[in-house]
């Protein structure tokens, strides 16, 4: 039997317990649409003329907290990628021993 992950759920079907069937399905199958949030990505030019992606969100959205968390996670991931590329470590400059 497969190990269930947090994206799985188990559904029990059947009328009585003598004819019960357990179905193991994915909660979010591949290709399924995720809940729409208020995060919008725009491509703009900075003062140097380079294209940059700007993430914006609606402060009055019902999903504001989830959207803010998403934007924060994306910003942290981008900063860690840049640090890894420039410094060789995702956490920045390593302390000398």
- Where are the chain's structural domains? 40-87
pLDDT reported for residue 83: 87
CA–CA gap between residue 70 and residue 75 (Å, rounded)? 9
Q: What residues contact 14, with CB distance under 8 A and at least 6 apart? A: 20, 21
Burial 51-78 (b: 16+ CB within 10 A, else e): eeeeeebeeeeebeeebbebbeeeeeee
> Could you read off the pLDDT of 14-34 as tens digits, one per residue?
556 566 666 666 666 666 556
Sequential pLDDT tens for the chain (97 residues): 555 555 555 555 555 656 666 666 666 666 655 666 788 889 999 999 999 988 888 989 888 998 999 899 999 999 889 888 888 777 777 656 5
């Amino acid at each position: 039997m497969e190990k269930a992950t947090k994206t799985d759920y188990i559904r029990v079907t059947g009328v009585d317990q003598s004819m019960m069937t357990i179905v193991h399905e994915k909660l979010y199958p591949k290709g399924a649409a995720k809940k729409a949030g208020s995060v919008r990505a725009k491509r703009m030019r900075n003062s140097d003329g380079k294209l940059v992606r700007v993430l914006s969100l609606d402060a009055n959205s019902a999903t504001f907290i989830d959207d803010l968390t998403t934007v924060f996670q994306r910003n942290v991931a981008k900063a860690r990628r840049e640090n890894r590329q420039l410094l060789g470590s995702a956490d920045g400059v390593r302390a000398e021993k």
